[in-house]
């Protein structure tokens, strides 16, 4: 094999490795996007739960105050 063929083969191997790394990187980005989406959904659920709990606690506090009971101090 002459130098030109050797250089061409080395370049082709290099390009193949780069393509593999690129595909692996794209796969990793896709995986991370999935994780981010799942976390976003989880955070939205937690936010709704916090708002609901806060609303229920406020209603309970108001009910106790209306009944003349002392607030629990949270």
Stated length of the chain: 74
Expressed as residue numbers, the domain containing 48 is 1-65
Query: Alpha-carbon distance 30 to 40, whole Å?
Result: 15
The answer as to whether 33 is a domain residue is yes
Residue 1 resides in a domain: yes
56 domain-assigned: yes
Compare 5 and 68 and report the one with higher pLDDT: 5
The count of domains in the chain is 1
Question: Is the pLDDT reported for residue 1 higher than 80?
Answer: no
Does some domain include residue 72? no
Q: 3-class DSSP state for residue 49?
A: helix
pTM of the entire structure?
A: 0.60
First-to-last C-alpha distance (Å) of the chain: 82
Quick: pLDDT tens for 17-71: 999 999 999 999 999 999 999 999 999 999 999 999 999 999 999 999 998 865 5
Is residue 45 a part of any domain in this protein? yes
What pLDDT, on the 0 to 100 scale, is given for residue 59?
Answer: 96
In a domain, 73, yes or no: no
Q: Is 25 part of any domain?
A: yes
Q: Which pLDDT score, from 0 to 100, does residue 68 have?
A: 83
């Amino acid at each position: 094999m002459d130098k030109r063929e050797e250089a061409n083969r080395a370049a082709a191997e290099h390009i193949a490795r780069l393509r593999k790394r690129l595909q692996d990187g794209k796969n990793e980005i896709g995986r991370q996007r999935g994780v981010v989406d799942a976390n976003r959904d989880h955070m939205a659920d937690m936010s709704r739960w916090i708002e609901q709990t806060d609303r229920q606690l406020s209603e309970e506090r108001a009910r106790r105050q209306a009944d003349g009971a002392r607030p629990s101090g949270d």
